[in-house]
Amino acid sequence: MKKLFILMAMVAFVFTSCKKDYTCTCTNDSDGTEVSSTPINNASKSDAEDACTAINIVSGITCELD
SS3 sequence of 13-60 = HHHHCCCEEEEEEEEECCCCCEEEEEEEEEECHHHHHHHHHHHCCCCC
The string of pLDDT tens digits covering residues 22-64 is 999 999 999 999 999 999 999 999 999 999 999 888 889 999 9
Grade residue 15 by pLDDT with cuts at 50, 70 and 90: low
Query: Across the strands, what pairs with 43?
Result: 20
Q: Please name the residues in contact with 41: beta carbons below 8 A apart, sequence gap of 6 or more.
A: 21, 22
